[in-house]
């Protein structure tokens, strides 16, 4: 339940300023890390600023929702909500320049499918990407690379409470205890719209899902011209408790503000930012020669050698998985560590010898 | 050491001799075959102390020397030869010892038990003497006289062994025998009685151990039979009775553990009575077990902070009219244990959870 969840305890923040501060800190961290490598100075113009990062995030969030809406088989709303939440949480503490959002977005959806028990095989998942099979393979590889990192950055708090079930609960309650409103079903459509709009904002990180659901109902009621405040005071028994009522109403106002203020970044801006982002990534700022195969394993002193053969699909992927396993827990991460394993196997195109140095 | 020990001593002597014999050294003086060449060769000694070798069969090992005639042969001489030689020489029943040329009888050859034939000879003489001079310490009024008596015996034995003053010694012996005929007889009887008593005691011991062994065997057999019966009974029960299998198994398990405990108890009780005669009582503490006074547990229902309005209880939902607005459960769902109130309750819980909560 939400009241005992980590979402309430750890991932609900007081106000928007706190969120801003988190993002700024993530940005600053990346700047210092980049400066430490010596390739760029601190506050170099080539690096993104926090508001630019935010714009990129917004754009990719929209892309996430679009991707989920055309997903086959049809993805339930809770999965979409979970994926969106993961994305938001991830970029609260990490910088876009360090991990490209296009991969993280896919990883979020993939992980959300698993957590929410919406079982899609990985092949089926990448089948939804509009790319060539080779591109799909590559994408899958990247997704698997970043999966553990994502889980880590979420601090392993994977359960996300979405406002959709509370919304249903409120509808049931309205139908049972609020005879003033004859047909609460009329509220459903606009409330759904409200919920999908609020998913793009930071509201998930600031309010509890039941509050969001109630806000959806109240706003749709007010849009339909029905005053639902009597529901709050009568049925929810808040007539005596003025402070709580006030706070509730405040929160709802805040949410409506958020929705109103929300605007998707313009496409030219997005294009420019994307280019800048690509340049950042191509600067190869934090990638050393010892690139890690699977992100997130750094703590295990796990070192994998850079794969030499990139083009071929699955067999090579499997081979490197196997090969890197034989380095597991055995080496310390030093530059002078050389592996002398060499493998040779028959491939459809002839014999391939792979040796590791 | 007296004649009473003679019989037991005989058995021992054979054993000792068997160990003392060396294969190569001893050889028949006549035909020169050693034990090495013919391992079943055995030394035969005659009264004159010389040896001959013979290929021995089992029975002749246990032969004992006849008593009566040997005293005559003591005078005659010594002889020691192997049996093949013995047979050759004494084919007529009597012949000369090839070393000392004394006349010997065949019947007087017997298996040598000691390495030195002289010792064997002395042992034989001693046996004979002690048969006559068989007084005991109790028969003498003082220790000194007993010692004098013993000394006399030793002297006689020495004289006879080394052929010193044979005639006088023999006369002395006969004289003593005539004088103390009754005493000798009495002592002989006493000796035999003692021997018998010893034998009886041994017999009793042996019988006791036998009895114990049989008892244990019997008990084991009984136990096994019981176990088999039990197993059979279990199988029969499983076949016939209508009780569930687990119950039957539990019953039988109880029965078998009971049986084991019964069998164990008698075997435990016995060591108590056998130990040094002192009966050790089993101290059973009959002090009452102390009562532990504790506060009774009273059920307190769980209080969970939901930060929101209270949700009606699961059972009340129907009465309050919530269930009309929830999709009804199909028969398949109900079979699995699902009711529509579950879904309704979950939705309401989610709706009200955290509604009044604000982070700060």
Question: Strand, helix or coil at B213?
Answer: helix
Say if CB B77 and CB B104 are below 8 A apart.
yes
Tokens 């294009």 label which residue?
A271
Cβ-Cβ contacts under 8 Å for A62 (sequence gap 6 or more): A200, A264
* Spatial distance between the Cα atoms of B53 and A183, rounded to a whole number of angstroms: 134
Q: Is the dihedral of CA B137, B140, B141, B144 positive or negative?
A: negative
* Phi, psi (deg, nearest 5) at residue B27: -140, 150
Judged on CB neighbours under 10 Å (0-12, 13-18, 19+), B128 is buried
Please report which helix (H) or strand (E) contains residue A101, including its range.
helix A101-115
* Spatial distance between the Cα atoms of B62 and B76, rounded to a whole number of angstroms: 25
Q: Which two tokens stand for residue A296?
A: 């997130």
Chain A residue numbers touching B309 (CB-CB < 8 A): 236-237
Minimal C-alpha gap between A3 and chain B (Å): 5
Judged on CB neighbours under 10 Å (0-12, 13-18, 19+), A27 is buried
Low-confidence ranges of chain A (pLDDT < 50): 288-292, 302-317, 319-320, 326, 328-339, 345-350, 356-357
- Give helix then strand counts, H and E, for chain A: 14, 2
pLDDT single digits (tens) B212-264: 999 999 999 999 999 999 899 888 888 887 777 788 788 878 877 887 777 66
Question: Strand, helix or coil at A192?
Answer: helix
Chain A residue numbers touching B356 (CB-CB < 8 A): 244, 247-248
* Spatial distance between the Cα atoms of B316 and B2, rounded to a whole number of angstroms: 111
Chain A residue numbers touching B358 (CB-CB < 8 A): 247, 251
Judged on CB neighbours under 10 Å (0-12, 13-18, 19+), B220 is exposed
In this prediction, residue B25 carries a pLDDT of: 61
- Of A2, A13, A244, nearest to B353 by CB-CB distance is A2
* Spatial distance between the Cα atoms of A166 and B350, rounded to a whole number of angstroms: 5
Please report which helix (H) or strand (E) contains residue A347, including its range.
strand A342-347
Task: Test B350 with A210 for CB contact under 8 angstroms.
Answer: yes
Task: Test B306 with A1 for CB contact under 8 angstroms.
Answer: yes
What is the Cα Rg of chain B in Å?
A: 48
- A348 touching B (Cβ < 8 Å): no
Q: Which site among B304, B327, B345, B356 would you substitute to test the A interface, given the most A Cβ atoms closer than 10 Å to its Cβ?
A: B356
Distances (CA, A) of A70 to A76, A128, A247, A305: 12, 8, 38, 38
Chain B residue numbers touching A248 (CB-CB < 8 A): 355-356
Chain A residue numbers touching B344 (CB-CB < 8 A): 172
* Spatial distance between the Cα atoms of B155 and A22, rounded to a whole number of angstroms: 125
Cβ-Cβ contacts under 8 Å for B241 (sequence gap 6 or more): B248
Q: Which two tokens stand for residue B10?
A: 């005989």
Q: Pick the closest to residue B130 from B188, B91, B83, B171 (CA basis).
A: B188
Minimal C-alpha gap between B300 and chain A (Å): 20
In this prediction, residue B180 carries a pLDDT of: 84
Q: Which site among B319, B342, B357, B360 would you substitute to test the A interface, given the most A Cβ atoms closer than 10 Å to its Cβ?
A: B357
Q: Pick the closest to residue A245 from A258, A254, A236 (CA basis).
A: A236
Interface of A with B in 158-177 (CB under 8 A): 161, 165-173, 175-176
Cβ-Cβ contacts under 8 Å for B226 (sequence gap 6 or more): B259
Chain A residue numbers touching B306 (CB-CB < 8 A): 1, 3
Say if CB A286 and CB A34 are below 8 A apart.
yes
- A185 touching B (Cβ < 8 Å): no
Whats the size of chain B, residue-wise? 360
Please report which helix (H) or strand (E) contains residue B155, including its range.
helix B143-161
Question: Strand, helix or coil at B34?
Answer: strand
Task: Test B348 with A213 for CB contact under 8 angstroms.
Answer: no
Q: Which two tokens stand for residue A222?
A: 């007010």
DSSP B93: S
Interface of A with B in 54-83 (CB under 8 A): none
Chain B residue numbers touching A214 (CB-CB < 8 A): 351, 355
Domains of chain A, each with CATH number or no CATH: 2-160+264-354 (1.10.472.10), 164-261 (1.10.472.10)
Say if CB B112 and CB B45 are below 8 A apart.
yes
* Spatial distance between the Cα atoms of B120 and B113, rounded to a whole number of angstroms: 7
* Minimum Cα–Cα distance from A214: chain B residue: B351
Q: Pick the closest to residue A230 from A191, A166, A178 (CA basis).
A: A178
Partners of residue A345 on adjacent β-strands:
A352
Chain A residue numbers touching B326 (CB-CB < 8 A): 172
Task: Test A169 with B321 for CB contact under 8 angstroms.
Answer: no
Q: Which site among B326, B352, B360 would you substitute to test the A interface, given the most A Cβ atoms closer than 10 Å to its Cβ?
A: B352
* Spatial distance between the Cα atoms of B281 and A211, rounded to a whole number of angstroms: 80
Task: Test A13 with B357 for CB contact under 8 angstroms.
Answer: no
Chain B residue numbers touching A247 (CB-CB < 8 A): 356, 358
* Phi, psi (deg, nearest 5) at residue A345: -145, 160
Task: Test B355 with A214 for CB contact under 8 angstroms.
Answer: yes
- Of A165, A176, A251, nearest to B350 by CB-CB distance is A165
Low-confidence ranges of chain B (pLDDT < 50): 1-5, 18, 20, 57-79, 269-279
In this prediction, residue B167 carries a pLDDT of: 87
- A248 touching B (Cβ < 8 Å): yes
Q: Which two tokens stand for residue B78?
A: 């010594």
Partners of residue A344 on adjacent β-strands:
A353
A73 preceded by cis ω (within 30°)?
yes
* Minimum Cα–Cα distance from B360: chain A residue: A14
Q: Pick the closest to residue B83 from B131, B17, B30 (CA basis).
A: B30
Chain A residue numbers touching B305 (CB-CB < 8 A): 3
Q: Which two tokens stand for residue B288?
A: 């009452």
* Spatial distance between the Cα atoms of A197 and A65, rounded to a whole number of angstroms: 11
In this prediction, residue B273 carries a pLDDT of: 44
* Spatial distance between the Cα atoms of A52 and B163, rounded to a whole number of angstroms: 139
In this prediction, residue B47 carries a pLDDT of: 67
Q: Where are the alpha helices (DSSP H) in A224-296?
A: 229-230, 242-261, 267-282
Minimal C-alpha gap between A13 and chain B (Å): 6
Task: Test B347 with A8 for CB contact under 8 angstroms.
Answer: no
Question: Strand, helix or coil at A205?
Answer: helix
Q: Is the dihedral of CA A149, A153, A155, A157 positive or negative?
A: negative
Q: What is the pTM of this model?
A: 0.53
**Lateral strand order in the sheet of B51-55:** B51-55, B41-45, B110-111
> ipTM of the predicted structure?
0.74
- A209 touching B (Cβ < 8 Å): yes
């Amino acid at each position: 339940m939400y009241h005992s969840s980590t979402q309430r305890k750890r991932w609900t923040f007081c106000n928007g300023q706190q969120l801003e501060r988190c993002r700024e800190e993530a940005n600053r961290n990346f700047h210092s890390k980049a400066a430490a490598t010596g390739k760029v100075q601190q506050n170099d113009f080539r690096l993104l600023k926090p508001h630019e990062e935010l714009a990129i995030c917004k754009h990719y969030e929209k892309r996430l929702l679009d991707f989920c809406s055309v997903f086959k088989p049809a993805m339930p709303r809770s999965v979409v909500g979970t994926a969106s939440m993961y994305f938001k949480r991830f970029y609260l503490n990490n910088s876009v320049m360090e991990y490209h959002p296009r991969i993280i977005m896919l990883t979020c959806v993939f992980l959300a499918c698993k957590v929410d028990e919406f079982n899609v095989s990985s092949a089926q998942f990448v089948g939804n990407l509009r790319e060539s099979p080779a591109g799909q393979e590559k994408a899958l590889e990247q997704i698997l690379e970043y999966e553990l990192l994502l889980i880590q950055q979420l601090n392993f708090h994977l359960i996300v409470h979405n406002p959709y079930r509370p919304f249903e609960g409120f509808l049931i309650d309205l139908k049972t205890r609020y005879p003033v409103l004859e047909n609460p079903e009329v509220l459903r459509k606009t409330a759904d719209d409200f919920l999908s709009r609020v998913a793009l904002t930071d509201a998930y990180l600031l309010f509890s899902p039941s509050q969001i659901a109630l806000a959806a109902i109240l706003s749709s009621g007010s849009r339909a011209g029905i005053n639902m405040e009597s529901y709050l005071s009568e049925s929810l028994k808040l007539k005596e408790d003025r402070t709580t009522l006030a706070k509730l109403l405040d929160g709802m106002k805040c949410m409506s503000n958020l929705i109103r203020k929300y605007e998707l970044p313009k496409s030219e801006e997005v294009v420019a930012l994307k280019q800048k982002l690509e340049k950042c990534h191509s600067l190869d700022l934090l990638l050393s020669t010892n690139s890690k195969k699977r992100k997130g394993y750094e703590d295990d002193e796990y070192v994998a050698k850079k794969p030499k053969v990139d083009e071929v699909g699955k067999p090579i992927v499997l081979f490197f998985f196997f090969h890197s396993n034989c380095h597991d827990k055995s080496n310390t991460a030093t530059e002078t560590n050389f592996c002398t394993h060499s493998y040779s196997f028959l491939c459809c195109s002839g014999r391939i010898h792979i040796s590791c140095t | 050491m007296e004649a009473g020990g003679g019989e037991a001593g005989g058995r021992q002597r054979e054993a000792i001799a068997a160990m003392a014999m060396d294969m190569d050294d001893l050889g028949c003086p006549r035909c020169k075959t050693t034990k090495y060449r013919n391992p079943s060769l055995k030394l035969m000694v005659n009264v004159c102390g010389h040896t001959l070798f013979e290929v021995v069969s089992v029975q002749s090992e246990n032969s004992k020397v006849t008593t009566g005639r040997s005293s005559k042969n003591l005078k005659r001489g010594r002889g020691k030869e192997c049996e093949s030689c013995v047979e050759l020489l004494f084919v007529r029943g009597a012949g000369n010892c090839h070393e000392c040329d004394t006349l010997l009888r065949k019947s007087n050859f017997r298996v040598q038990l000691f390495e030195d034939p002289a010792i064997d000879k002395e042992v034989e003489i001693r046996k004979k003497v002690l048969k006559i001079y068989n007084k005991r310490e109790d028969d003498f009024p003082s220790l000194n006289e007993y010692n004098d008596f013993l000394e006399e015996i030793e002297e006689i034995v020495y004289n006879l062994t080394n052929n010193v003053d044979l005639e006088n010694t023999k006369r002395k012996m006969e004289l003593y025998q005539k004088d103390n005929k009754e005493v000798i007889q009495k002592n002989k009887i006493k000796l035999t009685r003692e021997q018998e008593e010893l034998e009886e005691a041994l017999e009793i011991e042996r019988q006791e151990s036998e009895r114990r062994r049989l008892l244990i065997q019997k008990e084991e057999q009984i136990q096994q039979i019981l176990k088999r019966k039990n197993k059979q009974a279990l199988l029969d029960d499983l076949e016939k009775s209508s009780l569930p299998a687990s119950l039957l198994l539990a019953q039988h398990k109880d029965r078998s553990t009971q049986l084991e405990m019964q069998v164990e108890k008698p075997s435990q009780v016995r060591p108590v009575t056998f130990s040094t005669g002192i009966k050790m009582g089993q101290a059973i503490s009959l002090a009452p077990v102390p009562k532990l006074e504790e506060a009774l547990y009273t059920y307190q229902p769980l209080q969970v902070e939901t930060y929101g309005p209270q949700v009606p209880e699961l059972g009340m939902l129907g009465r309050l009219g919530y269930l009309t607005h929830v999709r009804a459960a199909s028969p398949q769902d109900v079979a699995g244990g699902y009711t529509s109130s579950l879904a309704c309750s979950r939705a309401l819980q989610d709706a009200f959870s955290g509604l009044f909560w604000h982070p700060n």
